[in-house]
Amino acid sequence: MYYDYMLVRLGELTIKGRNRGKFENLMLAKIKQALTAYERLTYEKSYGRVYITLNGEDADGVSAALRDVFGIGSFSPAVRAANELGAIREAALAVMNAHRPAPATFKMTVKRAWKEFPHVSQEMNHLVGAHVLRNTPALKVNIREPDVELKVDIQPQGTFVYCTVVPGAGGFPLGMNGKAMLLLSGGIDSPVAGWMAMRKGLEIEAIHFHSYPFTSEQATEKVVTLTQRLAHYGGRIKLHLVPFTELQTRLAQSKQDHLIITLMRRAMLRIAQKLAEQRGALALVTGDSLGQVASQTLGSMNVIGREIDLPLLRPLVMMDKQEIIRYAERIGTYETSILPYEDCCTLFVPKSPATNPNLRVVESVEHELGEELNRLIEEAVAGTELVVMTAQGREGARNAEEDRWF
């Protein structure tokens, strides 16, 4: 089918009242950014929608790119006709004829947004539907369970005819709701948490803790690859690589085996909070999911989360592993996440980690470490390296340097 239009419905932002114009402009910019490869496209913005004229560009390619743009509620490849009965009838027939597999039943839905059109919607349902039926002998009407729903949308600038509505990613345009730091391990969960944060309009910068040389370079590369995948949605993502070896080794010496994960997590959050302050981020995002492992029981979360003042966002907290995996597959991070490289936390995993750590004990262990703990945290922050990823790969080192010392 030769579609000549893409009718894009903006998502959640249409419910926002006063800042609507700003949101729509931001959405238009994000859509254009995602479609830069298609040079012949032209754009038109109108109340809660963006109309894209394909000008011969590939409708399938454009559809695939639109699926990943945050803030889109849904979209439809469409044919545009003049606001005139004959033209609309012909367009409707062409759309139906081109539909594969050929439908046995259909239903017409006409929406008359442009009130100056001479026939009301109900009348149009009959006028257009009858024309389609007359010219497609095998086709029947089925109002309740049609194979295809043929939609005719009469707008001031023209009538759009289509029969597919593709669900968009939803959410808000990226960056609209501020910035957060994502704690990105190499696992399945945290990349999904990052994608969800971005979908809600948060710009993210990623933080990864590595224990080189105990963890391998491949383990870090894996996180670099995950960041690159997230950059497919986020345009450009900064990844902060934090040296965690010394801190981790020191915490392990405190002889509190069952509390080691709790202590490590608290140290991670303190470092992440410092980086957030440097980078102007207002929240931390993790891939925690309630009950999944010892460090993600409510008791553990309580003791771990107390260490910081910034909001700690856990988008996956109520999700089952299978749901998380489905998202990971959909966003294209799963294959990388299941590569077998070790994570820093798996190095020191005790036989029986505390599922209900005692805050007072944890605090007293940290207190004993005193200034040394603060120093190690400061050193880890100072030793952090920055890598900037785009969907194409690593950005030049010079740029990264400039970025770091902003």
Which helix (H) or strand (E) covers residue 382, if one does?
Answer: helix 359-382
* 205 φ, ψ (degrees, to nearest 5): -120, 140
* Euclidean distance between CA atoms 228 and 272, whole angstroms: 20
Closest distance to ligand ATP from the beta carbon of 319 (Å): 11
Closest distance to Mg ion from the beta carbon of 187 (Å): 3
Q: Between 73 and 187, name the residue whose CB sits nearer to Mg ion.
A: 187
Any idea what the Cα angle at residue 212 is, between residues 208 and 216, rounded to 5°?
Answer: 90
Q: Name the one range near Mg ion by CB under 5 A: 72-80, 187-195, 259-267, 387-395.
A: 187-195
Q: Name the one range near ligand ATP by CB under 6 A: 21-29, 63-71, 252-260, 337-345.
A: 337-345
209 has binding-site annotation = yes
What residue 275 binds from Mg ion, ligand ATP, none (CB within 5 to 8 A, per partner kind)? none
Q: Between 71 and 287, name the residue whose CB sits nearer to Mg ion.
A: 287
Q: Which residue number has the CB closest to ligand ATP?
A: 187
Q: Binding of Mg ion at residue 187 (CB under 5 A)?
A: yes
* Euclidean distance between CA atoms 122 and 252, whole angstroms: 74
Closest distance to Mg ion from the beta carbon of 229 (Å): 17
* Euclidean distance between CA atoms 76 and 174, whole angstroms: 22
33 has binding-site annotation = no
Q: Between 159 and 227, name the residue whose CB sits nearer to ligand ATP.
A: 227
**Contact of 172 with 13, CB cutoff 8 Å:** yes
* Euclidean distance between CA atoms 385 and 395, whole angstroms: 14
* Euclidean distance between CA atoms 160 and 172, whole angstroms: 25
* Euclidean distance between CA atoms 161 and 110, whole angstroms: 9
Among 295, 300, 333, 336, binds ligand ATP (CB under 6 A): 295
- Sheet containing strand 385-390, edge to edge, reads 312-313, 284-285, 179-183, 203-210, 236-243, 385-390, 393-394
Coil vs helix vs strand at 349: coil
Q: Binding of ligand ATP at residue 183 (CB under 6 A)?
A: yes
Q: Binding of ligand ATP at residue 187 (CB under 6 A)?
A: yes
Q: Between 203 and 288, name the residue whose CB sits nearer to ligand ATP.
A: 288
- Orientation angle between helical segments 245-252 and 359-382, nearest 10 degrees: 150
312 has binding-site annotation = no
Among 168, 201, 287, 315, binds ligand ATP (CB under 6 A): 287
Place of tokens 């309009």: 201
What residue 153 binds from ligand ATP, Mg ion, none (CB within 5 to 8 A, per partner kind)? none
Closest distance to Mg ion from the beta carbon of 233 (Å): 21
Q: Name the one range near ligand ATP by CB under 6 A: 149-157, 233-241, 281-289, 374-382.
A: 281-289
**Contact of 79 with 54, CB cutoff 8 Å:** no
Q: Name the one range near ligand ATP by CB under 6 A: 7-15, 99-107, 119-127, 290-298.
A: 290-298
183 has binding-site annotation = yes
Q: Binding of ligand ATP at residue 184 (CB under 6 A)?
A: yes
* 362 φ, ψ (degrees, to nearest 5): -60, -45
Letter string b/e over residues 44-64, b meaning 16 or more CB atoms within 10 A of that residue's CB: ebeebbbbbebeebebeebbe
Stretch 1-40: interaction string toward ligand ATP, x if CB under 6 A: ----------------------------------------
Coil vs helix vs strand at 115: coil
Q: Which residues bind ligand ATP (CB under 6 A)?
A: 183-185, 187-190, 207-209, 286-288, 292-293, 295-296, 343-345
Binding site as annotated, residues: 183-184, 208-209, 265, 287, 296
